[in-house]
Amino acid sequence: MNEYKFSGKALKFNLGNSDREYLLGGLRYGNFRKFVVAELFDASTGEGEQRAIIPSHVRALKKAMLDNTYAPTIFTIGTRKKHRESLEYEKDNVSLTVKESNPLPLLDANNRAASLEMIRSESKALETLVDNLYIPYILYLNGDPRADFLVLQAGKPVSRDHTLSVRIA
């Protein structure tokens, strides 16, 4: 299969001058890894937006996934102008066919994806198991992938005091 169709109800968020449209869904990791790619930011060319993986974080996520203490969370995917030309609307429903040769940009979850890649590389059985996992996603249908990446990284972390108090309780 060299193309994948993302489809569902086009959801809208609008508190300002324009709608932010997005799609919520789930797809098997085997498809995710073919049709979504982290495009690392290259300062020399100005291309991409994603940061490089953090090996210690990837290992910690892998351990949590294998220990069953990982809480599945949304992988964030964007669209570039070339992808948006393929959007098809039918009332409130939208579909986007993506070719393997023109994957969507991964905006958040690069370390999680790297952890899954590490696990799947360990054996054929794990490869099959990981490829069949459902990955929850949010797919932004409009916006700017670089600006969205920056907004996603700008979240305020929980204070250490609060985290410690919750752990103790």
What is d(CA 12, CA 29) in angstroms, rounded to the nearest whole number?
A: 26
Confidence check: pLDDT of 80 > 80: yes
Output the pTM of the full model: 0.91
All residues at 6 or more sequence positions from 116 whose CB lies less than 8 Å from its CB, including other chains: 29, 33, 65, 130, 133
Tens-place pLDDT, residues 152-167: 888 877 788 888 888 8
Confidence check: pLDDT of 1 > 80: no
> Exposed/middle/buried for 5, CB within 10 Å: 0-12, 13-18, 19+?
exposed
Instruction: Please tell me the predicted confidence (pLDDT) of residue 155.
Output: 81
Instruction: Report the DSSP beta bridge partners of residue 42.
Output: 47
Tens-place pLDDT, residues 105-151: 999 999 999 999 999 999 999 999 999 999 999 999 998 999 999 89
What is d(CA 19, CA 143) in angstroms, rounded to the nearest whole number?
A: 10
Tens-place pLDDT, residues 5-60: 999 999 999 988 889 999 999 999 999 999 999 999 999 999 999 999 999 999 99
